[in-house]
């Protein structure tokens, strides 16, 4: 259990700069999600935290101890990779015991801790199985146990569930969150999926092109994104308006019925492109005068006149002031 | 047409060639080695030729030499090939041309390698002449006999030079395929450089290296041209004796020569079985249990 600090980290692969001046503090026992599109530098940050890469500039601290040049094997940051990477020539029990074996932990203690770690991931009694006998979800649970059993100062997860199907992913997310909280392990979780990040993390660090775009609680990204790119990444719709760009969440859009209009609400005249009545909601595709198109879901109570929504019809949409963000 | 019948018919031409030439030849050899050899009037089956081989001093010396040379050459090639693969791994990852360069000696025939070895280490070879020119030896003939010598050093040198790149290529292919994530994962679990080699890299490449080594051993055990060119008449390797007796003007030696070839085939057969067993066990992620 350790607080972790990255200070002014930059990294290069050859001539290409992949990280640019990243400063980030992760609190003790916190689960921080690193989110961003593919190739934005998330995994590089993780490898720098693990000690697998040395930054070209900047420092890494665990608590107040400078660890920038401490090698991965001595740093105490266990990493779970995208692929399970179970050693195929070892049994499940031997795989989980690997880190303890490397540190020459006594045999009895190793056996006890391996049993306990397998219980954490609901695989008690699997010690003698071969990795080839496990399902994808079980394999990733074993890798989680293999990392946790070493009692790492920092747990690093690099898109560990990306190869699993959605129903398994949800369960794995819950398991990671539950164990992380129970054991109080400071954790960094890399994902390109903003929903996954919001579901699991205490805070999210959003990375674009090797720079930290915003670091905040998940809710803030849905209510107050700091930049237009952050807003777009978290599902906001952006429309060019007079005086810059206006962003809003598609679910906050209302049909303008001229009543209860706040003068600061933004209104748009749009053309209906297509329309589906799904009973409990109306699915609408509209085209703005700027040519941009947008898919919307409206509450059926907003209009009784379905003909007004037929393709080609013009309607007026309103975005309440409280649900908009303006960006220059 | 029934799919099975169709498959059988499609495989028939290849099966006929393999069955006729390989299995047929092997069957014929077995029959001859058991004494059925009409040209000398022998039409009864007898284990006498095998019994004579077993009591033959030349056979015993040859078997020992063959086994020792194949084992030592395999051991040296496997170790050197493994080390070469580990050393060249980074280079081959960044510059694939090195992987290709390493494959080039594979295209060289064994015969050419044998001639090259003669040209370099024989008393009339390059090294002897250089040593003479440097004044290290009185005349080229004073150079120690490394070809046609008692211990088969020339044979050993030729096989090590030829088989090391083969094992290196096989091992390197696996090293490149598995990448470095296993080792990175082991690092974050606290494994030092030595522990990563011992507990991660070596076990991961072992299936490829051990399989390649088995192939090399089986090949050397039965190969003919290198010991024929670089060996001495006594003790000679098994294949050389088999050839000599087979070509003998005395037809009565023929069944014994064939019995020798059957012994070589049997040893190779056991190795192929071990290879298949190993490959299957490694593919299933199991610890191989051979015997």
A252-311 pLDDT, tens per residue? 888 876 555 566 677 888 899 998 888 888 888 999 888 888 888 888 887 777 778 888
Could you tell me which CATH number the domain at B61-283 has?
Answer: 1.10.3720.10
In this prediction, residue B291 carries a pLDDT of 41
In this prediction, residue A323 carries a pLDDT of 83
- Minimal CA separation from A103 to chain B, in Å: 7
CB B261: neighbour CB atoms within 10 A?
A: 22
Across-strand partners of A315? A270
Count Cα neighbours of B127 within 13 Å in the Cβ-side half-sphere.
13
In this prediction, residue A262 carries a pLDDT of 61
In this prediction, residue A1 carries a pLDDT of 62
Backbone angles phi, psi at A121, to 5 degrees: -100, 20
Cross-chain residue pair A88–B285, CB shorter than 8 Å: yes
Q: What is the pLDDT of residues A118-134, one digit of tens each?
A: 999 999 999 999 999 99
Dist. CA A35–CA B250, nearest whole Å: 84
Q: Among all chains, which residue has been given the structure tokens 């219980």?
A: A119
Check pLDDT > 90 for residue A188. yes
In this prediction, residue A185 carries a pLDDT of 95
CB A203 within 8 A of CB A34: no
In this prediction, residue B105 carries a pLDDT of 83
Q: Which chain A residue has its CA at the smallest distance from B195's CA?
A: A102
Dist. CA A93–CA B229, nearest whole Å: 54
A5 alpha-carbon distance from chain centroid: 19
Domain ranges across chain B: 61-283
Q: What is the pLDDT of residues B171-217, one digit of tens each?
A: 999 999 998 999 999 999 999 999 999 999 999 998 889 889 999 99
B112 touches chain A (CB under 8 A): no
Report the CATH fold assignment for A2-228. Answer: Rossmann fold (3.40.50)
Average pLDDT score over residue span B145-155: 84
Average pLDDT score over residue span A1-23: 90
A72 interaction partners in chain B (CB closer than 8 Å): 184, 187-188
Complex-level ipTM: 0.85
**Two tokens, residue B61:** 């010396």
CB B130 within 8 A of CB B112: no
Backbone angles phi, psi at A38, to 5 degrees: -55, 140
Residue in A131, A132, A146 closest to B189 by CB: A146
**Two tokens, residue A262:** 């706040």
pLDDT band at residue B290 under the 50/70/90 scheme:
very low
Dist. CA B145–CA A1, nearest whole Å: 69
Residue in B182, B285, B287 closest to A85 by CB: B182
pLDDT band at residue A155 under the 50/70/90 scheme:
very high
Closest CA to A222 of A209, A206, A241: A206
Point out the least confidently predicted range of A235-244, B17-26, B42-51, B58-67: A235-244
- Minimal CA separation from B201 to chain A, in Å: 10
Q: Among all chains, which residue has been given the structure tokens 């209302």?
A: A254
Dist. CA A49–CA A228, nearest whole Å: 28
**Two tokens, residue B161:** 């030079």
Domain ranges across chain A: 2-228, 236-327
Instruction: Choose from B177, B180, B182, B185 for mutation: most chain A CBs within 10 A.
Output: B185
* Yes or no: domain A236-327 corresponds to CATH 3.40.50.10800: no
Top mean-pLDDT range of A233-237, A239-243, A296-300: A233-237
The pTM of the whole model exceeds 0.95:
no
Cross-chain residue pair A79–B184, CB shorter than 8 Å: yes
CA angle A25, A29, A32 (to 5 degrees): 50
A149 by DSSP, 3-state: which? coil
Q: Which residues contact B90 (CB under 8 A, 6 or more apart)?
A: none
pLDDT band at residue B46 under the 50/70/90 scheme:
confident
Check pLDDT > 60 for residue B286. no
**Two tokens, residue B3:** 């799919």
In this prediction, residue B285 carries a pLDDT of 54
Dist. CA B114–CA B240, nearest whole Å: 15
Dist. CA A313–CA B8, nearest whole Å: 68
Across-strand partners of A285? A274, A295
Determine how β-strand A186-191 pairs with β-strand A154-158: parallel
Average pLDDT score over residue span A236-240: 84
A2 by DSSP, 3-state: which? coil
pLDDT band at residue A177 under the 50/70/90 scheme:
very high
Q: How far is CA B14 from CA A271, B1, B20, B272, in A?
A: 70, 20, 10, 21
A105 touches chain B (CB under 8 A): no
Closest CA to B155 of B88, B255, B225: B225
Average pLDDT score over residue span A217-236: 91
Average pLDDT score over residue span A163-172: 87
């Amino acid at each position: 259990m350790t607080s972790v600090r990255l200070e002014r980290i930059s990294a290069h692969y050859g001539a290409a700069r992949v990280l640019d001046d990243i400063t980030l503090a992760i609190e003790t026992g916190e689960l921080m999600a690193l989110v961003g599109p593919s190739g934005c530098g998330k995994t590089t940050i993780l490898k720098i935290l693990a000690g697998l890469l040395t930054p070209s500039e900047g420092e890494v601290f665990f608590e107040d101890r400078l660890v920038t040049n401490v090698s991965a094997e001595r740093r105490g940051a266990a990493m779970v990779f995208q692929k399970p990477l179970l050693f195929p020539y070892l049994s499940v029990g031997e795989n989980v015991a690997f880190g303890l074996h490397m540190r020459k932990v006594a045999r009895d203690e190793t056996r006890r801790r391996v049993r306990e770690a397998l219980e954490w991931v609901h695989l008690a009694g699997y010690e003698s199985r071969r990795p080839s006998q496990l399902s994808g979800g079980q394999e990733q649970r074993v890798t989680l146990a293999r990392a946790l059993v070493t009692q790492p100062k920092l747990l690093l997860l690099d898109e560990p569930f990306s190869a699993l199907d959605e129903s398994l992913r949800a369960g794995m997310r819950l398991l990671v969150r539950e164990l992380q909280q129970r054991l109080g392990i400071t954790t960094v979780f890399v994902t390109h999926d903003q929903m996954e990040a919001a579901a699991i993390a205490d805070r999210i660090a959003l990375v674009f092109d090797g720079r930290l775009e915003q670091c905040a609680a998940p809710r803030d990204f849905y209510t107050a994104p700091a930049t237009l790119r952050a807003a777009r990444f978290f599902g906001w719709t952006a429309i060019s308006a007079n005086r810059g760009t206006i962003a809003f969440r598609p679910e906050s859009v209302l049909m303008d019925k001229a009543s209860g209009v706040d003068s600061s609400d933004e209104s748009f005249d749009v053309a209906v492109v297509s329309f589906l009545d799904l009973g409990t909601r109306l699915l609408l595709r509209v085209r703005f005068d700027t040519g941009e198109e947008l898919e919307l879901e409206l509450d059926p109570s907003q209009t009784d006149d379905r003909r007004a929504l037929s393709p080609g019809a013009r309607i007026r949409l309103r975005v309440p002031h409280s649900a908009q963000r303006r960006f220059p | 047409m029934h799919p099975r019948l169709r498959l059988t018919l499609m495989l028939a031409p290849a099966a006929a060639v393999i069955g006729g030439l390989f299995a047929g030849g092997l069957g014929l050899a077995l029959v001859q080695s058991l004494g059925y050899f009409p040209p000398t009037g022998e039409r009864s089956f007898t284990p006498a030729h095998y019994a004579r081989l077993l009591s033959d001093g030349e056979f015993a010396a040859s078997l020992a030499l063959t086994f020792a040379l194949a084992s030592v050459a395999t051991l040296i090639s496997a170790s050197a090939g493994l080390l070469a693969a580990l050393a060249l791994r980074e280079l081959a990852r960044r510059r694939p041309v090195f992987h290709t360069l390493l494959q080039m000696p594979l295209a060289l025939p064994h015969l050419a390698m044998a001639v090259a070895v003669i040209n370099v280490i024989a008393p009339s070879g390059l090294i002897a002449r250089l040593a003479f020119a440097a004044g290290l030896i009185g005349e080229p003939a004073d150079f120690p006999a490394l070809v046609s010598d008692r211990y088969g050093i020339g044979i050993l040198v030729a096989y090590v030079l030829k088989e090391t790149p083969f094992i290196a290529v096989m091992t390197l292919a696996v090293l490149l395929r598995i990448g470095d994530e296993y080792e990175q994962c082991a690092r974050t679990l606290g494994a030092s450089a030595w522990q990563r080699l011992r507990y991660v890299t070596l076990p991961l490449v072992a299936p490829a290296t051990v399989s390649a080594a088995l192939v090399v051993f089986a090949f050397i055990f039965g190969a003919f041209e290198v010991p024929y060119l670089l060996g001495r008449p006594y003790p000679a390797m098994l294949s050389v004796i088999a050839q000599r007796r087979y070509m003998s003007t005395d037809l009565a030696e023929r069944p014994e020569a064939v019995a020798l070839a059957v012994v070589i085939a049997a040893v190779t057969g056991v190795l192929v079985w071990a290879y298949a067993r190993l490959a299957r066990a490694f593919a299933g992620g199991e610890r191989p249990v051979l015997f």
